[in-house]
Structure 1
Amino acid sequence: MLYAYVTRNGRITRLEKGADLEQAIWIDLIQPGDAEIDSLRAIGVPVPSLADMEEIEISNRLYREDGLDYMTAVLPGERADGERSAMPVSFILSAQRLVTVRHHSPRPFLTFPDRGERSTLGCGSPDRLFVGLLEEIIARLADILEGSGRVLDDTMSGIFEPRASSVGSDRLQAALQKVGHEAELLARVRLGLLTIERILAFYTAIIDERPEAEKLRPVVRSQFRDVQALEVHADFLSSRVSLTVDTTLGMINLQQNNTVRVLSVVAALFLPPTLIASIYGMNFTNMPELNQPWGYPMAIGLMVGTAVGIWLLLRWKNWL
């Protein structure tokens, strides 16, 4: 799938299907097929394959070739099958246009065409488009971090509430699943921030070659600081995830201990009566109590008395 955009009156406008790509300032490729790849090659833009984009070496993700700057980030988004994952997105920047290649749908690529003119530098050139798109991506990653923080707040308040000891195991299990989901989401955001930081470092190294370097540099520097601040925030949330998991597991252990304690008390209460019943259930010939009329009431009394005695001992020790 291919979307081509131009800028008119300071706004991003999509070109009609089949329009001349030479006039496009931004071309967005989603899971490109052979036809789309050939159309980009016709205007001098080789498109990297998904295997090339997934290479983790910096030399394969950040490089210059034939006057084109290739920069690849790993961003969270939704795949075609509806699953959410982190996948690579390549930015191919030239003096004429920006080309983005992706195989999933990060939300900034859906929202940026409608509000690109509201970015710091607008969208009047490929470099401004690129910087504005990065700004949208960073803002989206910040939103995800804020959402994760709220989820962790709600989960922690549910665990630490005064009646937390009565929280059911199903609810604690659901809390663990929710925290696990947020941990995975934080990992994707952290990876996205790391790759965006590398892109900004690469772009900063070549920014002096851009005709609008004086305007671009302070914005890129500001984005670099934003990414570093978000990385610190992501690390803080990761530590909160660890605390939440440890707390939830601790509550589960407390519930299990309470269950084991009840079973242990029941076993202790019935242990002496069971011993007495076992003694008088032996089939020896010479057991005088068996022939006495008071033998049966005596055995019952011993069973009840020892059970009550054990119960009083446990209460005295504050084990009940």
Structure 2
Amino acid sequence: MLYAYAVEGGRITLMERGADLRGAMWIDMVQPGDVEVAALTALGVEVPSLADMEEIEISNRLFRENGMDYMTAVLPGERGDGSRAAMPVSFILSPERLVTVRHHSPRPFLTFPDRGERSTLGCSTSDRLFMGLVEEIVARQADILEASGRVLDEAAQAVFERRTGATGPMARAGAERLQAVLRQVGREAELLARVRLGLLTIERMLAFYIAIIGERKESGRLRPAIKGQLRDVQALQVHADFLSSRVSLTVDTTLGMINLEQNSTVRILSVLTALFLPPTLIASMYGMNFVNMPELEKPWGYPMALGLMVGTSAATWLLLRWKNWL
């Protein structure tokens, strides 16, 4: 699928299908087929395949060819089946236009056409259009990190406000909540990993771009904007590292609470075992079929045995209370 955009009056407008692509300043290709690739080849643009975009060598992701700059970043987004993943996106920049090639749907590519004119440099040239799109992508990563921070706040609150003295249905509900917190924190950890990878590749892409920007006519205006985006990316990387440490803390705390829950259950079972141990011993002793057992012939023998059972159980319970084990 191919979307062609022109810039009219400082605004990004979607061109009609079948329009002459030579008038487009931004061509966004989504899972391009043979027809779309042939159309770009006619413009002198070599469209990389998904296999080429997934190559991790820096020389395959950042290079110049035929007067065009090829830059690839790995961005989080949504696939066609609704699942989320981090996949490569290629930016092919020439003095005439910007071409983007992607195989999933990062949200900035959907929102930028409506907000491109409000970017720092506007979108009057292909370079400014590229910087505006990068600005939108970086802002999206910041939004994801902020939302992830709120989710971690809620998860930590659910763990720390857990009432450890609850029993029965309340204890089961607490255990289920702790398991839900673990799943939630696990999802956030995966999301943070995708964002951190995206920020790393964006930083490398901008470092390559600032190294070649001297040949542009607007290099004096573009360079400060690139440096500003690099500072934002580095700040977001620090924020992502902080959130990753919070993920580790929340996971450790949740696992600790689960262990406490299990220890409470084992303690209850141990107390019950200790309470029934003396009566079991007495019952076992008087269950022996020996001839010389005087209590068997006495009328008070049975009540005495029952009394011993109750008394030893009560004594065990008082001992446990005195030791603060209950």
Q: TM-score, normalised by structure 1?
A: 0.98
- Amino acid of the residue matched to residue 267 of structure 1? T
Q: Distance in 2 between matches of 1:5 and 1:165?
A: 62
Moved over 3 A (4+): 162-167
1:301 aligns with 2:307: yes
Q: Distance in 1 between matches of 2:164 and 2:285?
A: 45
Q: SS at the partner of 1:270? A: helix
Alignment match of 1:218 (pick from 200, 206, 224): 224
Q: Distance in 2 between matches of 1:162 and 1:169?
A: 10
Alignment match of 1:278 (pick from 278, 284, 293): 284
Q: SS at the partner of 1:122? A: coil
| Alignment match, 1:236 | 242
- CA drift of 1:287 comes to 2.0
1:264 aligns with 2:258: no
| Alignment match, 1:144 | 144
**Contact between 2:4 and 2:28, CA under 8 Å: does it hold in 1?**
yes
Q: Cα RMSD over matched residues? A: 1.0
| Alignment match, 1:15 | 15
- CA drift of 1:65 comes to 1.2
1:172 aligns with 2:178: yes
Alignment of 1:100-179 (within 5 A): 100-161=100-161, 163=163, 166=166, 168-179=174-185
- Amino acid of the residue matched to residue 119 of structure 2? S
| Alignment match, 1:29 | 29
Cα 1:149–1:303 change in 2 (3 A) is same
| Alignment match, 1:43 | 43
Q: SS at the partner of 1:144? A: helix
| Alignment match, 1:203 | 209
- Amino acid of the residue matched to residue 15 of structure 2? L
Alignment match of 2:191 (pick from 175, 185, 188): 185
| Alignment match, 2:169 | none
- CA drift of 1:164 comes to 5.9
1:250 aligns with 2:246: no
Return 5+ residue gaps in structure 2 as ranges.
167-172
Q: SS at the partner of 1:168? A: helix
Q: SS at the partner of 2:56? A: coil
Return 5+ residue gaps in structure 1 as ranges.
none
Identity fraction in percent: 75
- Amino acid of the residue matched to residue 90 of structure 1? S
Paired positions, count: 320
When structure 1 is superposed on structure 2, of 278-287 and 230-239 the one drifting more is 278-287
Q: Distance in 1 between matches of 2:202 and 2:222?
A: 16
Q: SS at the partner of 1:87? A: strand
